[in-house]
């Protein structure tokens, strides 16, 4: 975990690959109950991060998170750009003077997720990306507190992310365009929850392989 920022080029590539590989599926999910532009916006943000991944690797983790957040905010656009940007900008502020280890990251990520909740005025159970992010954050904090081995915590995070994403299928939506569909949104997985899960799993797999 101490080499986290040095791994950023690999992590960005892994995330980009999994989003590109699943772009058609995500586009279909978003077309069913969303605005239809989520994956295109996300790919644009990831392209921007990819172009600066070597620069990010030279930064400390607070500076890297800030650069990522500002880049996503300015390149993605839409609600998801604002939310993902907020996640990383908040993590940048929270990570100042914190040790770049598993426990430190769990605390920093939790503060980032809390900022997304406040920015989006949403919480778990509302059929959004938070249905993936909140359980993963809680699981990381619990595993760090209980001194769970890092590899085991990564595998736990993957399982929790998948369960959180899948839970959105049978939810009513109360945020965004999907909220206007009422019960017609039931039966569809939220695109933001799906891409959040894909990215978390890609990061975990990449770290497990290094």
| pLDDT at 47 exceeding the cut of 60 | yes
Confidence of residue 177 (pLDDT cuts 50, 70, 90): low
Provide the domain count of the chain.
1
Q: How far apart are CA 122 and CA 82, in angstroms?
A: 14
Closest CA to 82 of 31, 38, 143: 38
Confidence of residue 2 (pLDDT cuts 50, 70, 90): very low
CATH number, domain containing residue 122: 1.25.40.340
Say if residue 118 is exposed, middle or buried (CB neighbours under 10 Å; 0-12, 13-18, 19+): exposed
- Let me know: does 128 contact 120? Beta carbons within 8 Å: yes
User: Containing H/E element for 2?
Assistant: none
Q: Which residue did the predictor score with more confidence, 181 or 15?
A: 15
Sign of dihedral through CA atoms 88, 90, 91, 93?
positive
pTM of the model: 0.93
What share of the chain has pLDDT > 70, as a percent? 94
Confidence of residue 125 (pLDDT cuts 50, 70, 90): very high
DSSP string, 168-186: GGGPPP-STGGGGGGGGGT
Q: Which residue did the predictor score with more confidence, 3 or 169?
A: 169
Predicted confidence (pLDDT) per residue in 53-104, tens digit? 989 999 999 999 999 999 999 999 888 899 999 999 999 999 998 888 999 9
Q: Which domain holds residue 30?
A: 5-209
Task: Supply the mean pLDDT for the chain.
Answer: 92
């Amino acid at each position: 975990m101490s080499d986290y920022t040095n791994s950023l080029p690999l992590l960005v590539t892994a995330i980009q690959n999994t989003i590109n590989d699943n772009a058609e599926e995500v586009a279909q999910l978003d077309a069913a109950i969303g605005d239809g532009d989520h994956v295109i916006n996300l790919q644009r943000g990831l392209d921007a991060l990819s172009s600066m991944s070597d620069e990010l690797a030279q930064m400390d983790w607070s500076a890297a998170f800030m650069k990522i957040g500002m880049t996503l905010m300015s390149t993605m656009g839409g609600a998801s750009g604002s939310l993902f940007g907020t996640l990383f900008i908040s993590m940048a502020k929270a990570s100042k003077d914190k040790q770049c280890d598993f426990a430190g990251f769990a605390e920093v990520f939790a503060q980032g997720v809390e900022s997304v909740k406040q920015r989006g005025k949403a919480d778990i159970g509302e059929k959004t990306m938070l249905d993936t992010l909140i359980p993963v954050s809680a699981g990381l904090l619990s595993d760090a507190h209980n001194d769970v081995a890092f590899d085991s915590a990564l595998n736990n995070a993957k399982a929790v992310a998948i369960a959180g994403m899948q839970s959105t299928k049978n939810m009513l939506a109360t945020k965004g365009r999907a909220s206007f569909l009422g019960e017609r949104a039931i039966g569809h997985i939220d695109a933001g929850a799906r891409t959040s899960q894909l990215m978390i799993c890609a990061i975990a797999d990449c770290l497990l392989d290094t």
